[in-house]
Structure 1
Amino acid sequence: MENPVDINHIFDEKGIKLLKELGWHGSIVVQYHDNYDKKIFEEVKEYGEREGLKIYAGVKIKSESPKELVRYVKKFRSKVDVILVEGGILKINRQALELHDVDILSTPELNRRDSGIDHVLARLGSVHRVAIELNFKQVLIKRNLYERARLLWAFRRNIHLAKKFNMPVVISSGAENIYGIKSPYDLRSFLNTLTGDPVYSKTIMEFPYKIAEYRVYLKRDNVIRYGVEVVEEE
């Protein structure tokens, strides 16, 4: 794996150090939009610099209104590197997948009887290059075996649709403390059981880095849009 990057809620120095020790190249540190604090990101980046771990700022937007979602996405697009949207509500899933400025639709299956993604939404995600997230923490917190089996079914179905329509997929530990942190090899092994395709699992593991670096690139002062840069003559 090249440059594996985890997606989590780890803000303390001890957690950042553990991520590095376990083999992560970087971490997309996520705050919820209603608790956003730039100073927290700055502190975490300092920890990352000391440990040699690349830190990206992420914000997760929770909304029940598509119009409100669009407003929040516009508000935070220039403030953070990665924008995630918490899914589960079908109209929110669809709206998130229709926005170029959204990077990841998180937990599209949340509180649903289906997987939250169908063929139409998979096509939208492919066109707009919005990834769907497989949140490993959601598997761990399921105490009911039926609910855990249902979630694994949803993961497999969404992976099948994503692969069929070339829709991006990412996996996250979703860790909120050091006890939830997993190594990149643990998550890849879990993916292998879902996909049955080690090469595709590797692609999923490497996608968070590509998303984060793409957004960092677009924020450069000399970049007008992807592929169009202002170059000073010597």
Structure 2
Amino acid sequence: MMRIDINRIEKEEDIKLLSELNWDGFVFYQYDDEFDKERYNHVKEIAKNYDLKIYCGVKIRSCENLKELKNKVKKYRNNCHIILVEGGVLKVNRATVEMHEVDVLSTPERGRKDSGIDHTLARLASLHRVALEINFKNLLNKEGYERARTLLFFRNNLKLAKKFKVPVVISTDAETKYEIKNSNDLRAFLNTLIDFEYTKEILTTTYKICSFREHLMKDNVIRWGVEILED
């Protein structure tokens, strides 16, 4: 089972720690307004020293201009293995789960008094295979009632995801070594929210998404199922 985190780790000592904490690799993501492929390549060279698989990601900041959002997705689709869209605004959440070019709706509950996902959005996410994110740092950064409410949102979204067969990813979203978590700890955390078998499925979803997009990025692949083969 390949366990792939999603984070912003780029220092060598932090990348080494990822390897020591049972991760097989990670998605190094940058925000769309700072994206630099050379920065990713630098992190990739470091990760190779620790036998970690690394994938390129971009997170598009929450953008209420839906035309601008779609243009950004189109711009980065062929440059990254995984595209995340920062959620929270309801119309952004909806637009995101309607775009099969997007891989992950990140923090759909951000700044909301509900989980950001209902039955309608769950059905759309399932149809277009857009994953919902359980962002562990988003939980840790809250205290008291806000933390309890975020847990409730996570549980609600997991139940909807399981019911409608929506992909789910979990991320540490770490930026420093102090935010990196053991993959087994995240597994134990998920077990408090959902059943054991579903937890195992969640832990492999990021890798499945990245492998799918990596395949599509090959020069001889026209689209899924259509490839140019040499004689």
With structure 1 as the length reference, what TM-score do the two structures score? 0.97
What runs of 5+ residues in structure 2 fail to find an aligned partner?
none
**Could you tell me how far apart the structure 1 residues matched to 2:211 and 2:13 are?**
25
- The answer as to 2:60 corresponding to 1:48 is no
Q: Percent identity?
A: 56
Structure 2 match to 1:140: 140
Q: Kindly report which structure 2 residues correspond to 1:134-173, keeping only aligned pairs within 5 A, or say none.
A: 134-143=134-143, 145-173=144-172
How many residue pairs align between the two structures? 230
What runs of 5+ residues in structure 1 fail to find an aligned partner?
none
> Once the 2 structures are TM-superposed, how far is the Cα of residue 64 of structure 1 from its aligned partner?
2.0
With structure 2 as the length reference, what TM-score do the two structures score? 0.98
**Could you tell me how far apart the structure 2 residues matched to 1:113 and 1:102 are?**
25
Could you give the per-residue CA deviations for residues 105-149 of structure 1, whole angstroms, max 9, x where no partner exists?
Answer: 000000000100000000000000000000000111102x10001
**Could you tell me how far apart the structure 1 residues matched to 2:48 and 2:64 are?**
37
**Could you tell me how far apart the structure 2 residues matched to 1:26 and 1:227 are?**
26
Structure 1 match to 2:103: 103
Structure 1 match to 2:91: 91
**Could you tell me how far apart the structure 2 residues matched to 1:38 and 1:220 are?**
18
Structure 1 match to 2:213: 215
> Once the 2 structures are TM-superposed, how far is the Cα of residue 28 of structure 1 from its aligned partner?
0.5
SS of 2:78's equivalent in the other structure is: coil
SS of 1:194's equivalent in the other structure is: coil
**Could you tell me how far apart the structure 2 residues matched to 1:139 and 1:91 are?**
23
> Once the 2 structures are TM-superposed, how far is the Cα of residue 55 of structure 1 from its aligned partner?
0.6
Amino acid at match of 2:228: V
Q: Kindly report which structure 2 residues correspond to 1:5-154, keeping only aligned pairs within 5 A, or say none.
A: 5-62=4-61, 63-143=63-143, 145-154=144-153
> Once the 2 structures are TM-superposed, how far is the Cα of residue 65 of structure 1 from its aligned partner?
1.6
SS of 1:51's equivalent in the other structure is: coil
